[in-house]
Structure 1
Amino acid sequence: MILILTIFCKVLVLAVPVLITMAYFTLIERKVMAAMQRRRGPNVVGIYGLLQPFADALKLLVKETILPTRANLFLFILAPVITFVLSLVGWAAIPFGSDSVLSDLNVGILYLFAISSLGVYGIILSGWASNSKYAFLGALRSAAQMISYEVSIGLVIICVLLCSGSLNLISIVEHQREVWYVVPLFPLFIIFFISALAETNRTPFDLPEAEGELVAGYNVEYSSMGFALFFLGEYINMILMSALTVILFFGGWLPPVDVFVLNYVPGVIWFSIKVIFFMFTFVWVRSTLPRYRYDQLMRLGWKVFLPISLAWVLLVASILMVFDYLP
């Protein structure tokens, strides 16, 4: 019983900050986009609009849940729950410091890759169970898009694993004490971050939610808490991909240079600063770039990113073997 309570407390300590961060990420996104477009943004609920996320959550919570007459109700309700739960369980393997991780898995990177691959099931189920052509087309688009860019993400991760010689996320970060992997693997970092935008269905790759064509995509029939769970899952996934980018390419919780003053700053602070920067980049990209056409999206994934990432796997493996640098 004590063990169960301990695990439950650890999960709460991880889940609550993630949910609060996600809530204020939505506020920051609206504020930043308003500033870029010379608007005010949310500024009514609370001081400087700081209570706006809680007002939005309350509004979604009290709205009526509408269930389509011809929908498969069990799968219709299950789909957003799957999406939300999978977005949360991925955080179990994310290390915030050398000793700050819920579950220090030896195959942590494979665990995260498996969880991200399962995320497509919630979207497919929502589109199919809604019994709506628009929702189904949005689900098909999203599934094809996520599968296409997961291939490039996987090949990029293989290059990082070749350099570190470990599947453990803490070990990957510790191998970057001398130099962050973004320096030797900069083209792969660009591919990874763009693929992360596509993986999370964010602008300019928000084709599953193309308002002009599909109304709202796979979640068009959802309201109230069903829509809120999809919303939560999407934003938590964005924060997760930002954290993974920091771990794989930017030294995780390590400071930029090995200086005593910088080393004195807690690792969690460094990790948070880097993650916030990439969260801001997600918003920046949304504010500035137009949406891709679907054929451009697929061509970029299969004809550009896949050959380049595959060539880099061969190049990195060859260099490590020739110079006997394999860990």
Structure 2
Amino acid sequence: MPDVGTLPFWLILIKVLGVFVFLLVMTLFSIVFERKIVGRMQNRIGPNRTGPWGVLQSLADGLKLAFKEEIIPVLADKPVYFIAPIISAVPAFVAFSVIPFGPEVSIFGHHTLLQLTDLPVGVLVTFACSALGVYGIVLAGWSSGSTYPLLGGLRSAAQMISYEVAMGLSLVAVFLFSGTMSTSGIVFQQRHEWNVLGLFVSFAVYAIAVVGETNRAPFDLPEAESELVGGYQTEYSSFKFAMFYLAEYINMVTVSALAATLFLGGWRAPWPLSLWHGANAGWWPILWFTGKVVAGIFMFVWLRGTLPRLRYDQFMSFGWKALIPINLVWILTITAVHVLRDRGWEWWRAIAVPAAVVLLIVVVPGLMIWEKSRAERAGERAADEEDDRLQPETFPIPPLDLLVPKPPRELAAVSVGKPAAPLASSATLPPGGTDD
């Protein structure tokens, strides 16, 4: 992006304001959009009172949160407690600075690209900003002085480590395909064919990993209401509480925009709109880019309204035992294809040979191991069911030594006003302690 250093200061401010306003508007839209879509999935109306069709409901909620009473826990570490929401929100805004919105346009007579800035390692900037946001969550959980927020913060840290690895590995194949880490360079490389067609495995892994990265359902374990009340933000209220949700929704917009940039052609028009010569010129690409971002947000909402929350052990096992191994095998395959193509092999041979090797060495043994473990688990379940069937149906009773012995007969008689009968000898008493 050669014109960054030569732009006038006022034009840079316009770009900064444009990115800021775009993220705020997309956040307000995403909240209403999510509530409407989930309401439709659950056969209910959703917000329909504030504004036409309820579109101003999220704005009303934001204003209401800003003016609510703020309650600070007595045991909170106040400096860290105050700065934690800021640490979560600021990287969410910064991550969008390298995302290209469109091609070169004219703004008040100055020709500039619709992008705030570009770097040779622009994708890594977004990657680093998404990793920094977890510090705010961890510090919020620790500084609240409460158990449940601390557990939510620790969950988020472990979750970030697990799924950040899978997310980063899914980008390696994109760098191999594009030959650059610049976001604008990656979009330019997709002018003929989108990366999702050749890197569908990387796209699938990325799509799963970013759901865990943004703490969204079914991976919203840091704020699981069923066992953590509210997670890391339990002790927050008023505007600080709103900042955490602002960061969550901006991160959702950012990862959707990054998916569009890396895999879906960026701001380029989809087919058949791309047949129109003016589709990728002027201000029209902003519309195509926004549509792709909204499609990504819809996928987040769809997952929330469809899937139940995973257990924590299932979630961590899926990240380490499924996503990361699949990504590593995929990267090795893509690298082998590139090396063979550089050596002059035909494209079908360059793809067939690594695919056959992966099939014989990885896929077939993996399926055999999985089938064996599945059969073992099925045998264990069958054995447990057989044991349950053979055991008679009994009600649980306490041990006999915990049973309270009945009172002696003379005490029972005295309690009802009758003369007491003589006690039997201890030799004739049954084990329970009485003769009845």
TM-score norm. by structure 1 comes to 0.96
Number of positions where the alignment pairs a residue of Structure 1 with one of Structure 2: 325
For residue 82 of structure 1, the aligned residue among 78, 81, 87 is 87
For residue 183 of structure 1, the aligned residue among 177, 197, 203 is 197
- Residue 100 of structure 1 corresponds to which residue in structure 2? 114
- Residue 14 of structure 1 corresponds to which residue in structure 2? 19
Deviation at 1:72, TM superposition (A): 0.5
- Residue 153 of structure 2 corresponds to which residue in structure 1? 139
Runs of 5+ in structure 2 lacking a partner? 1-6, 104-112, 345-436
**2:259 paired with 1:245:** yes
Q: Whose radius of gyration is greater, 1 or 2?
A: 2
For residue 316 of structure 1, the aligned residue among 319, 326, 334 is 334
How large is the Cα RMSD of the aligned pairs? Answer: 1.7
> Where do 4+ consecutive residues of structure 1 move more than 4 Å?
2-6
Could you give the per-residue CA deviations for residues 154-193 of structure 1, whole angstroms, max 9, x where no partner exists? 1110110010000100110111122111111112111100
* CA distance in structure 2 between the partners assigned to 1:325 and 1:202 by the alignment: 44
- Does the 8 A contact of 2:121 with 2:181 survive in 1? yes
Could you give the per-residue CA deviations for residues 193-235 of structure 1, whole angstroms, max 9, x where no partner exists? 0101000000110111111110000000000011000000000
**2:256 paired with 1:269:** no
Runs of 5+ in structure 1 lacking a partner? none
Could you give the per-residue CA deviations for residues 41-95 of structure 1, whole angstroms, max 9, x where no partner exists? 0011111112211210111011011111111001001000110111111111111
**2:61 paired with 1:47:** no
* CA distance in structure 1 between the partners assigned to 2:188 and 2:69 by the alignment: 49
Deviation at 1:256, TM superposition (A): 2.4
- Does the 8 A contact of 2:12 with 2:116 survive in 1? no
Deviation at 1:279, TM superposition (A): 0.7
- Residue 275 of structure 2 corresponds to which residue in structure 1? 259
Q: Map 1:188-207; keep pairs closer than 5 Å.
A: 188-207=202-221
* Larger fraction in helix: 1
- Residue 67 of structure 2 corresponds to which residue in structure 1? 62
* CA distance in structure 1 between the partners assigned to 2:8 and 2:76 by the alignment: 41
- Does the 8 A contact of 1:255 with 1:262 survive in 2? no
TM-score norm. by structure 2 comes to 0.72
**2:223 paired with 1:209:** yes
Identical-residue share of aligned pairs (%): 48
The SS at the match of 2:180 is coil
**2:303 paired with 1:285:** yes
- Residue 424 of structure 2 corresponds to which residue in structure 1? none
* Greater relative contact order structure (CA < 8 Å, 6+ sep): 1
* CA distance in structure 1 between the partners assigned to 2:35 and 2:185 by the alignment: 36
Q: Map 1:294-309; keep pairs closer than 5 Å.
A: 294-309=312-327
